[in-house]
A = this chain, B = another copy of it.
């Protein structure tokens, strides 16, 4: 039972970038690339790129580099994109709306199969041809269909109740847009998208100089006393 080495999340988070850029190369008929060239374009060291890929296998050729199409295919498999995934959306608000209409997901095999809402005015209608169901039928639906991923796009006060249902019914992944921190369940992985956190990070970045100045001065003053 060895061989079960874990790959760090930092590595995984870089793979979609490689994948995206390789896709662009294919579009302009580039068939071969070295880690050095990738490195210059992606602002990641060549060494790191080679290390990342070698977590999964030896996809290159000495003296040649990487075959673009082949590497693209491999990364697609590593990311699980060779399989279809069924997605449901919890919450027919703005975010749910935006995601449903984003065709890139569908093109990569992510299939929206239902939306769940509590607002009776929305139940029974459709968004982009996907049915909106009563949130109370959620558990039943999951038990009947193969749900891989649930998008959580509801206010935080209802999030706990819903996630319990998702964990209990072994939904494989939660894509969390709600403003709560979820722990992964026994059989359920979680990926957070905290827009508010992201905006706050940007706020820090644009004010950084001033902030650092203020706080380091304060610390210096205290230290000097």
Interface residues of A (CB under 8 A from B): 3-7, 9, 12-13, 15-17, 19-20, 42-43, 55-58, 77-81, 83, 85, 93-95, 97-99, 101-102, 104-105, 108, 110, 148-149, 172-173, 175, 179, 181, 183, 189, 191, 193-208, 211-220, 222
Min Cβ gap A63→B in Å is 19
A155 to chain B, nearest CB (A): 10
Chain B residues closer than 8 Å to A148, beta-carbon distance: 206
- Residues from chain B with Cβ under 8 Å of A4 in the complex: 212, 216
B189 and A205 contacting across the interface, CB-CB below 8 Å = yes
User: Given the complex, which residues of B lie within 8 Å of A201, measured CB to CB?
Assistant: 9, 12-13, 16, 191
Copies in the complex: 2
Main secondary structure of the interface of A (DSSP, over half): helix
Q: Kindly provide the distance from the CB of A102 to the nearest chain B CB, expressed in whole angstroms.
A: 7
Docked-complex contact A204 and B97, CB < 8 angstroms: no
Given A94-B101, A216-B5, A175–B197 Cβ distance below 8 Å? no
Query: Contacts A191-B202, A199-B110 known; A57 to B15 CB distance under 8 Å?
Result: no
CB neighbours of A102 from chain B (8 A): 94, 195
